[in-house]
Amino acid sequence: MPQRLSHRRVWVFDLDNTLYPPDSELFDQISDRMSQYIMRTLKLDATAADALRHDYWRRYGTTLAGLMEVHDVDPDPYMVEVHDISFDRLEPDPALRDAIASLPGRKIVHTNGSAPYAERVLDARGLSGVFDAIYGVEHADYHPKPRAEAFHRILDRDGTQPAGAVMFEDDTRNLVVPHELGMGTVHVAPEPDPQDHIHHYTDDLHGFLRTVLDGDTD
């Protein structure tokens, strides 16, 4: 059910495929590096590594969460390795920067990636300095979205009350808990996926934020 968002004062943005378009294919690079890591560490072939990566994403929220739970993988070197990618396909988006900067209140990033990786993405998109805080999965003690612990830890760390916040996400799984907590939810993706926990959908984040600023999100 749509909700007016202009009264909210904390704007929480996912990173991958949300603050840049999916056709940039950054996450394809990350997925390849995840599979390479699994192949080397667990001595699996490419087919088995890809299958394990997808299975852990489905069951644990992220591949890393499954690797930590089942194989006791050290998350820090893993995060450095899988995020060592090219940002050549990212371009600055001045219009998006202006729209985010114009939002009233606090703007934060909450990603299942690492904060250093997020900072590099934001720099490539021309979004450095727009956000008041950048939270990686390490700030949630490696609890990933969609787990409730991830949201509780980041909101508590930020001092944010859910009722005053909005979550922007490309993965509909990651909007279930924000909806339950009373946050506004916005699905950002090329195609809609209508579900009860999704208040708004957009395939144009800049355009959608402009409607929020104009008070036209009912």
- Which domain CATH number covers 134? 3.40.50.1000
CA atoms of 216 and 200, how far apart (whole Å): 12
Phi-psi region of 18 (alpha: psi -120 to 50; beta: other; left: phi over 0): alpha
3-state secondary structure of 45: coil
Task: Mention every residue, 6+ apart, whose C-beta is less than 8 A from residue 87.
Answer: 26, 120, 121, 124
Task: Please say which residue of 39, 56, 82 terminates a domain.
Answer: 82
In a domain, 2, yes or no: no
User: What's at 20, amino acid-wise?
Assistant: Y
CA atoms of 206 and 168, how far apart (whole Å): 12
pLDDT at res. 1: 44
Residues 132 and 69 in one domain: no
Distance of CA 147 to the CA centre of its chain: 13
Strands (E), the chain: 10-13, 106-110, 133-135, 165-169, 184-188, 200-202
Residue 135, both tokens = 């939270």
- Domain count of the fold of the chain: 2
Residues 98 and 200 in one domain: yes
Range of the domain at 180: 10-21+90-213
Residues 111 and 144 in one domain: yes
If residue 53 lies in a helix (H) or strand (E), which one and from where to where? Answer: helix 46-60
Q: Measured between alpha carbons, how far is residue 128 from residues 23, 97, 101, 191, 192 in Å?
A: 21, 9, 11, 28, 29
In a domain, 125, yes or no: yes
pLDDT at res. 177: 98
Residues 94 and 155 in one domain: yes
Q: Does the N-terminal peptide bond of residue 94 adopt cis geometry, omega within 30 degrees of 0?
A: no
Q: What is the pLDDT along the chain (218 residues), one digit of tens a residue?
A: 456 787 899 999 999 999 999 999 898 999 999 999 999 999 999 999 999 999 999 999 899 999 999 999 999 999 999 999 999 999 999 999 999 999 999 999 999 999 999 999 999 999 999 999 999 999 999 999 999 999 999 999 999 999 999 999 999 999 999 999 999 999 999 999 999 999 999 999 999 999 999 876 65
Residue 96, both tokens = 């998006």
pLDDT at res. 216: 66
Q: What is the CA radius of gyration of the chain?
A: 17
Instruction: Provide DSSP, 13-32.
Output: E--TTTTS-GGG-HHHHHHH
